[in-house]
Amino acid sequence: MKILMVIIDGLSDRSLNGTTPLKSANTPNMDFIAKIGINGIMDTINPGIRPGSDTAHLSILGYDPFKFYTGRGPIEACGAGIEVKPGDIAFRVNFGTVKGEGSVFDKIVVDRRAGRIQDKDELIKAINSEVSLDGIEFILGNASGHRAALVFRGKDLSDKITDSDPKREGERVKRVRALDESAEFTARMANEFIEKSHEILDSHPFNLEREKAGLPKANVLLLRGVGKALHIPSFEERYGMRLAVIAGTTLIKGVGRLVKADVIEDDRFTGSKNTDLHLKVKKALEMLETHDFVLLHIKATDEFGHDGDFDGKRKFIEKVDSAIKPFLELDFSEVCFVMLSDHTTPVTARDHTADPVPVVIVFNEVRRDDVKAFNEFESYKGGLCRINGRDLMNILLDLIGKAKKFGA
């Protein structure tokens, strides 16, 4: 018995003139799945709690985010391929551009993305080899675009510190501050790291070349989203199932690595609008041969939501619909198929909201309901009614006969 889960990020919407991108899209395959499955809506975390994609995915995988989520830093660091250990402190990092005289903390951030620099390998290598901190180790890892991830490893580290990223251009780099006494050492290390890495970056030949070419120097690392890594039981320990995650987004790959899944990467999985959906579907089918649980993540629906692009979202949903057609050929006596969203990203709100998401489960023995379309206006009429994200894994394990009995 295997499980295939398709998570379409930010798929659902609020009503706009009585409809949504999902409702107005032509989705014969999704609707067929709704017809042969059991449908419902789901509060990924809790009613009224607006989920991030990271907390949402943890919850869907049965990891209570109130217990296991300690900030975006550790997840981004896992996503960047750093082997994060319990006790590590991890940050999200932007390569930015500063100008001015004196210490890095006297300089002004003129570009928070260093001209959206892509090629950062040389700079990251230089920092990892030339910067050293007295008393702790650090690892700087590469992420997409202007982003990176940073891990501090050592004794007595604390995540009770502030960001160095001023979040706005035209302001000075912020000195990292300790929020309590126990974090003073960590704050000092962070400031030392920011200063030393700035010195290396500012005079690095790669940046001098960029300057000559009229491009902004990537000469500062802006730190935010700090979190302390916890011990998290692996998916296999927890469920006795081997998990494969197919995703292009660093954050989702990070969630996968956090629970020790096999994360399937490919340059053609861009985590964006130009991703290769057909290849992702093909990979998911392949992974079903070798894994017990396959999670296929599709990102761009959320991007269209953030962009407020109703038509773009509708059209992309139609592309997803045609790409998932091969899943209809699955043998549902052997594979339990689940399709859902991680949260709602309405084109009107342009951000995540807590509105429950549609969810459908297809499995031979499932009690089919009368729902005939997969959308916000139909799913709630189905047999699953309204569930909580943290219960979904239990529901699936029970369906496929892997749940333990409670009581005699």
Interface segment toward Zn ion; rule CB under 5 A; list 52-60, 75-83, 171-179, 234-242: 52-60
Per CB under 5 A, 13 contacts Zn ion: no
Nearer to Zn ion by C-beta: 44 or 97? 44
Residue 271 falls in which region: left (phi positive, over 0), alpha (psi -120 to 50) or beta: left
Q: Does 355 bind Zn ion (CB under 5 A)?
A: no
Does residue number 53 form part of the binding site for Zn ion (CB under 5 A)?
yes
> Measured over all CA atoms, what is the biggest interatomic distance in the chain, rounded to whole angstroms?
75
Q: Is 154 left (phi over 0), alpha (psi -120 to 50) or beta?
A: left
DSSP secondary structure letter of residue 183: G
Contact 148, 80 (CB under 8 A): yes
111 sits near Zn ion (criterion: CB under 5 A)? no
Are 120 and 95 contacting, i.e. CB atoms less than 8 angstroms apart?
yes
DSSP 250: H
Give me the least distance between CB of 69 and Zn ion, in Å please: 14
Binding range to Zn ion, per CB under 5 A, among 184-192, 341-349, 355-363, 383-391: 341-349
59: contact with Zn ion by CB under 5 A? no
In one letter, which amino acid is 306? H
Q: Lay out the site mask for Zn ion across 277-316 (x = CB under 5 A, - = otherwise).
A: -------------------------x--------------
> Contact region for Zn ion (CB under 5 A) — 53-61, 131-139, 207-215, 217-225?
53-61
Looking at the Cβ atoms of 302 and 369, the one nearer to Zn ion is: 302
Residue nearest to Zn ion (CB): 53
Question: Which 3 state secondary structure label does DSSP give 264?
Answer: strand
353 contacts Zn ion (rule: CB under 5 A): no
Q: Is 86 exposed, middle or buried (0-12, 13-18, 19+ CB in 10 A)?
A: exposed
Q: Minimum distance between the CB of residue 132 and Zn ion, rounded to whole angstroms?
A: 37
Alpha carbon 74 to chain centroid, angstroms: 11
Separation between Cα atoms, residue 348 and residue 16, nearest integer Å: 8
When binding is defined by CB under 5 A, the residue of 342, 355, 376, 378 that contacts Zn ion is 342
54 binds Zn ion (CB under 5 A): no
| Least distance between Zn ion and beta carbon 361 (Å) | 20
The count of residues in the chain is: 408
**Which positions touch Zn ion (CB under 5 A)?**
9, 53, 302, 342
